[in-house]
Amino acid sequence: MSVTDDVTHAVTGELTGEDLAGLARIRQEAEAGPGEQATRAQHARGKLTARERIALLLDPGSFQEVEQLRRHRASGFGLEHRRPYTDGVITGWGTVDGRTVFVYAHDFRIFGGSLGEAHAAKIHKIMDMALSAGAPLVSLNDGAGARIQEGVSALAGYGGIFRRNTRASGVIPQISVMLGPCAGGAAYSPALTDFVFMVRETAQMFITGPDVVSAVTGAQLTQNALGGADVHATTSGVAHFVYEDEETCLAEVRYLLSLLPSNNRQNPPVHPSDDPADRVASTLYDLVPQDGNQPYDMHKVIEELVDDGDWLEVHERWARNIVCGLARLDGRVVGIVANQPQTLAGVLDISASEKAGRFVTMCDAFNIPIVTLLDVPGFLPGADQEHGGIIRHGAKLLYAYCNATVPRVSIVLRKAYGGAYIVLDSQSIGADLTFAWPSNEIAVMGAEGAANVIFRREIAAADDPEAKRAEMVKQYKSELMHPYYAAERGLVDDVIDPAQTREILIRSLAMLRTKHADLPSRKHGNPPQ
């Protein structure tokens, strides 16, 4: 190109073939990343690249990248000589089943996915766009934390992410997918989101790594032993879902998104079902034993009630004495909270209260009706529970139910004793409809315990204390624990045939679909911590 051509081009602003070729080269460089060697190293760790992950998450061809050509402006420690495009994070939007979803994905091949000023600015922008557009945000996390070479600028970048996580909470669904090591600040953002997915072996989360723990405490721990997927799925409760590989994990993220609305102003998607709304669930007669002390699997009860037996359990491996999950009834999404008699007899304890309380709050935030299935003997007794704050933690579940304005239907399958009965969406704390099976026992406590308290003098004075105790237990049951005691006093709306439970739930929720409830005017409540 001649000098005259250069001047003419500058004046007219005309694009040339060379301009477009230059753009293509830059885009190719940005999309390729640091090269094949870095990609092979990523694959050798058992991990996909950021772009491969985005391709699995979103509908084919739907991804629109934002700020692909951004580069950092930092200097020192050799950074001025390393200025790759994207700065180690890929941001943009696409669709999942045709619905808009925003995403950012750390590229571990670039600076180990660490967060610097430009990196953070890209994440801030895509979070702001997601909130403005009213669409879910999915983060694909595989980063080494703050970029040490950028100092406090990197830390400030995390602060901006945390503030946006909090602003978006309850407005749009936020899903964190942990696909590599995430330490320090990188672990706090997922904790602020609605759901956390982890891949076994390759993903870890911790505030301080094994080396620091060893230096301070002397304990020798691997990354997985300290903050691996199994630890967070079973012990800490940080991870809601754990999978063996990234492909399955991202497929399940897509499934979860199909059960959630795009934002808090919409309802979840409706998927018509071939499962009849009036299907008779006679299998329930055999699934739930009449003997209140005999365990059974609540999962099977849920599968019998919901459309096609299909549902997604949340926190499956943590606090297993209570079950939480998302399912559909007549094609419409519901949240299910249920005691699990197979674990600790289904009692409520600290972890179960926290698990169910947060699930109820999530459902309420995103317009998901709540179905509660009760078979609860009470709160778990013991000094460990009392000293650990069962009062405070149990109040979280109570607060969540009392604060929820979505349609709420509860069913007592067998027993519901004491404070646990009240807390688990009883009529007195605002359940819209409450039903009970004919085998139900609603009382302050079990008959044996009640008789020991009420009739202890008579029992102690009797010639045959055991025979007297049995007599008093029978009397207490006949007077205060028969199946219709609560119905006679209006504490349940009806006693129903278990086989009709599915139909009654669907009809009840259809009636409640237009429910409107106002909370008192306030900045926000002060929930128990």
420 closest CA partner among 342, 353, 488, 359: 353
123 closest CA partner among 99, 146, 150, 96: 146
Rounded to the nearest 5 degrees, what angle is found at the Cα of 525, between the Cα atoms of 524 and 529? 125
20: helix, strand or coil: helix
Q: How far is CA 256 from CA 41, 262, 322, 439, 521, in A?
A: 31, 12, 20, 35, 33
461: helix, strand or coil: helix
Report the helix count and the strand count for the chain, using DSSP H and E.
22, 17
**Is the CB of residue 69 less than 8 Å from the CB of residue 26?**
yes
445: helix, strand or coil: coil
C-alpha–C-alpha distance, residues 42 and 453, integer Å: 65
Question: What phi and psi values does residue 225 have, to the nearest 5 degrees?
Answer: -70, -30
Active-site residue among 88, 143, 157, 184?
184
Residue 331 bears catalytic tag = no
In eight-state DSSP terms, residue 234 is I
Residue 420 bears catalytic tag = yes
> At a CB cut-off of 8 Å and minimum separation 6, what does 203 contact?
178, 179, 180, 181, 182, 228, 229
C-alpha–C-alpha distance, residues 304 and 525, integer Å: 37
32: helix, strand or coil: helix
Question: What phi and psi values does residue 512 have, to the nearest 5 degrees?
Answer: -85, 0
C-alpha–C-alpha distance, residues 470 and 451, integer Å: 9
Active-site residue among 33, 185, 227, 357?
185
Sheet holding 99-106: strands in order across?
Answer: 64-66, 89-96, 99-106, 137-141, 174-178, 195-199, 241-243
Residue 309 bears catalytic tag = no
> At a CB cut-off of 8 Å and minimum separation 6, what does 340 contact?
297, 298, 299, 320, 321, 322, 323, 346
Rounded to the nearest 5 degrees, what angle is found at the Cα of 429, between the Cα atoms of 296 and 521? 135
104: left (phi > 0), else alpha (psi -120 to 50), else beta? beta
The identity of residue 40, as a single letter, is R
Q: Encoding tokens for residue 238?
A: 């940080």
Rounded to the nearest 5 degrees, what angle is found at the Cα of 502, between the Cα atoms of 500 and 506? 115
Residue 419 bears catalytic tag = yes
Active-site residue among 319, 416, 420, 451?
420
The identity of residue 43, as a single letter, is H
158 closest CA partner among 198, 195, 127: 127
C-alpha–C-alpha distance, residues 337 and 355, integer Å: 10
Active-site residue among 418, 419, 430, 449?
419
What are the residue numbers of the active site? 184-185, 419-420
